[in-house]
């Protein structure tokens, strides 16, 4: 009896755990993707992520056809669509790759139950990360809540189990694919208008992911320093491709380790690998501590009393729209609002500004990022926000508060990034651009909505409740 491979956040036709296992197990092997209506509901019609997925599916369908298979794309609630498709095709097993988001886990359990009634099995495989769930633990066998010991244990595990990086080949077994014609509804048919990905600098699909990685590798050695300056092209920009699996995490890690072994990755290689381990770390945290989706990782931080009411709403709106009067914060929010990307340094600066300068609950900022970020990933976004709010694992201590002007002077010294995203400030000198109000202000650009020194004091008082245990 045949098998169905259910693609989700793994939109590629190479090094694919679920597809590999399905091809080995039986024939014919069908491939499908469901535009899951509960996820799509509430997204704007020009959502870039939906456009990215759609374009990536076009490429995936063509690649599967070239291998002798095809891709079926449906729109509806996956809980019903997958069992219906499995019955229609008469397959005995559905193969998919694991997803560690609590909502996805619940969905997969529901699908598995419905399939079981019809005598069909759902088989899940690790694919999205190098090590998942409890594969990396402390010496005492417990999940780790601090990054550095986690990273050390992760590396040890990899030394002991190097085949964790081995690819899951597809091509040699492609004869098992069921031939046929792909079916891909248009974006309009699923209720979307599309988005100008090229204008946002995005090339979708496996081709886009591979091109980015190739372009990044020559500068890998400089990543350690280059990554902190938003005006420079110092990071890989692969987050969107990692999110939707148009690149393989195993391939990325293997490549960096091979370059390192040959002495060609420099210090930057080790730093970049660390970032990929952060990604595994937050997926593991989410799996073991699903309460973080709604609450602080450290419960005592839920006692922090955030600002609410009309004045706070006005501050929140100013933050979202990039009208805080702090040029680096406003430029960062403009980058997010116009391109769907924000540089990591700026994610830290803007998140800190919302929680620690405006006194607004990190969950509000997290939700705004979730709506806007092309690379939105629940585990990393939640981890990043809780880090900035000091409520998370391995967080920034609450008394260490980013100064938005100092950050600007350090990481956008010449003001190039600010000039790019806040054209009104383009004529200011490198000296004046970080704090225009100290240099006579600029017509049409707001004065700071809060005084940083006063806000800092209020935040220290606000966090008093956690001091004893913070």
Binding positions for FAD are: 223, 235-239, 272, 275-282
CB of 248 to ligand FAD, least distance (A): 13
Q: CB-wise, 114 or 235, nearer to ligand FAD?
A: 235
Does 384 engage in binding with ligand FAD (CB under 6 A)? Answer: yes
Does 385 engage in binding with ligand FAD (CB under 6 A)? Answer: yes
Residues 93, 120 contacting (CB under 8 angstroms): yes
Q: CB-wise, 67 or 253, nearer to ligand FAD?
A: 253
Among 65, 49, 47, 28, residue whose Cα is nearest residue 184: 65
Residues 6+ apart with CB under 8 A from 34: 6, 73, 74, 75, 76, 78, 81, 82
Q: Residues 154, 168, 385, 387: which is the catalytic one?
A: 385
Binder to ligand FAD among 63, 81, 101, 375 (CB under 6 A)?
A: 375
Does 248 engage in binding with ligand FAD (CB under 6 A)? Answer: no
Does 219 engage in binding with ligand FAD (CB under 6 A)? Answer: no
Q: Which stretch binds ligand FAD (CB under 6 A): 162-170, 260-268, 379-387, 400-408?
A: 379-387
Lookup: tokens for 340: 């769907």
Q: Which stretch binds ligand FAD (CB under 6 A): 110-118, 142-150, 162-170, 234-242?
A: 234-242
CB of 182 to ligand FAD, least distance (A): 29
CA–CA distance, 25 with 21 (Å, rounded to integer): 6
Q: Residues 135, 344, 403, 437: which is the catalytic one?
A: 344
Does 278 engage in binding with ligand FAD (CB under 6 A)? Answer: yes
Among 447, 468, 450, residue whose Cα is nearest residue 459: 450
CB of 52 to ligand FAD, least distance (A): 14
- Backbone torsions φ then ψ of 246, nearest 5 degrees: -80, -10
Q: Which residues are annotated as a binding site?
A: 223, 235-239, 272, 275-282
Q: Residues 65, 135, 267, 306: which is the catalytic one?
A: 306
As a whole number of angstroms, the longest Cα–Cα distance in the chain is 76
Residue 265 burial (CB count, 10 A): 22
Does 372 engage in binding with ligand FAD (CB under 6 A)? Answer: no
CA–CA distance, 235 with 215 (Å, rounded to integer): 10
**DSSP H stretches of helix in 99-173:** 102-117, 147-160
Whose structure tokens read 């391995």? Answer: 394
| Catalytic-residue membership of 362 | yes
- Backbone torsions φ then ψ of 240, nearest 5 degrees: -65, -40
Give the CA count within 13 Å in the CB-facing half-sphere of 142.
6
| Catalytic-residue membership of 154 | no
CA–CA distance, 470 with 463 (Å, rounded to integer): 9
Site for ligand FAD in 312-331 (CB under 6 A): none
Residues 10, 247 contacting (CB under 8 angstroms): no
Q: Which stretch binds ligand FAD (CB under 6 A): 110-118, 192-200, 271-279, 459-467?
A: 271-279
Does 377 engage in binding with ligand FAD (CB under 6 A)? Answer: yes
| Catalytic-residue membership of 275 | yes
Residues 6+ apart with CB under 8 A from 54: 184, 187, 192, 194
| Catalytic-residue membership of 6 | no
Residues 94, 123 contacting (CB under 8 angstroms): yes
Residues 6+ apart with CB under 8 A from 291: 297
Q: CB-wise, 6 or 385, nearer to ligand FAD?
A: 385
Q: CB-wise, 21 or 343, nearer to ligand FAD?
A: 343
Lookup: tokens for 320: 């979202």
Residues 6+ apart with CB under 8 A from 454: none
Q: CB-wise, 265 or 348, nearer to ligand FAD?
A: 348
What binding mask, one character per residue, do residues 328-357 give for ligand FAD by CB under 6 A, x or -?
----------------x--xx--x------
Does 358 engage in binding with ligand FAD (CB under 6 A)? Answer: no
CB of 370 to ligand FAD, least distance (A): 7
Collapsing DSSP states into helix, strand and coil, what is residue 321? helix
Binder to ligand FAD among 275, 307, 409, 416 (CB under 6 A)?
A: 275
Q: Which stretch binds ligand FAD (CB under 6 A): 104-112, 120-128, 238-246, 411-419?
A: 238-246
- Backbone torsions φ then ψ of 3, nearest 5 degrees: -135, 155
Residue nearest to ligand FAD (CB): 384
Binding-site ranges for ligand FAD (CB under 6 A): 227, 235-239, 242-243, 275-276, 278-279, 282, 344, 347-348, 351, 369, 373, 375-377, 380-381, 383-385, 388
Please list the active-site residues.
Answer: 275, 278, 306, 344, 362, 385
């Amino acid at each position: 009896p045949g098998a169905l491979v259910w693609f989700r956040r793994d939109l590629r036709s190479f090094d694919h755990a679920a597809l590999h296992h399905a091809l080995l197990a039986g024939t014919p092997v069908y491939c499908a993707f469901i535009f899951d209506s509960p996820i799509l509901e509430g997204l704007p019609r020009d959502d870039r992520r939906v456009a990215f997925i759609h374009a990536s599916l076009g490429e995936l369908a063509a690649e599967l056809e070239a291998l002798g298979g095809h891709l079926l794309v449906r729109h509806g609630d996956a809980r019903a669509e997958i069992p219906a498709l499995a019955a229609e095709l008469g397959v005995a097993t559905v193969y998919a790759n694991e997803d560690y988001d609590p909502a996805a886990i619940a969905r997969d359990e529901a699908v598995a139950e419905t399939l079981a009634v019809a005598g069909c099995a759902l088989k899940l495989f690790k694919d999205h990360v190098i090590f998942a769930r409890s594969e990396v633990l402390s010496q005492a066998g417990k999940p780790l809540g601090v990054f550095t010991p986690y990273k050390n244990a992760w590396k040890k595990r990899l030394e002991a189990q190097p085949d964790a990086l081995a690819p899951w080949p597809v091509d040699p077994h492609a004869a098992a694919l069921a031939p046929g014609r792909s079916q891909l509804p248009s974006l309009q048919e699923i209720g979307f208008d599309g988005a100008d990905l090229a204008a946002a600098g995005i090339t979708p699909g496996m081709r886009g992911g591979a091109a980015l990685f190739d372009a990044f590798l020559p500068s890998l050695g400089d990543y350690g320093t280059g990554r902190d300056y938003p005006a420079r092209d110092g990071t890989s920009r692969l987050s969107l491709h990692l999110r939707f699996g148009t690149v393989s995490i195993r391939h990325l890690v293997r490549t960096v380790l091979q370059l390192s072994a040959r002495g060609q990755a420099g210090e930057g290689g080790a730093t970049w690998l660390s970032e990929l381990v952060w990604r595994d770390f937050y997926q593991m945290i989410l799996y073991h501590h699903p309460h973080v989706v709604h609450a602080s990782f450290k419960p005592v931080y839920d006692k922090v009393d955030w600002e609410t009411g009309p004045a706070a709403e006005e501050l929140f709106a100013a933050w979202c729209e990039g009208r805080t009067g702090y040029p680096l914060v406003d430029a960062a929010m403009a980058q997010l609002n116009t391109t769907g990307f924000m540089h990591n340094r700026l994610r830290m600066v803007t998140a800190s500004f919302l929680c620690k300068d405006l006194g607004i609950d990190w969950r509000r900022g997290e939700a705004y990022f979730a709506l806007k970020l092309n690379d939105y990933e629940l585990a990393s976004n939640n981890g990043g926000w809780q880090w900035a709010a000091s409520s998370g694992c391995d967080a920034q201590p609450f008394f260490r508060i980013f100064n938005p002007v100092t950050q600007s002077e350090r990481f956008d010294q010449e003001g190039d990034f600010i000039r790019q995203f806040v054209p009104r400030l383009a004529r200011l000198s490198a000296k004046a651009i970080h704090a225009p109000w100290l240099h006579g202000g600029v017509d049409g650009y707001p004065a700071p909505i809060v005084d940083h020194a006063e806000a800092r004091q209020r935040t220290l008082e606000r966090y008093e409740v956690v001091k004893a245990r913070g």
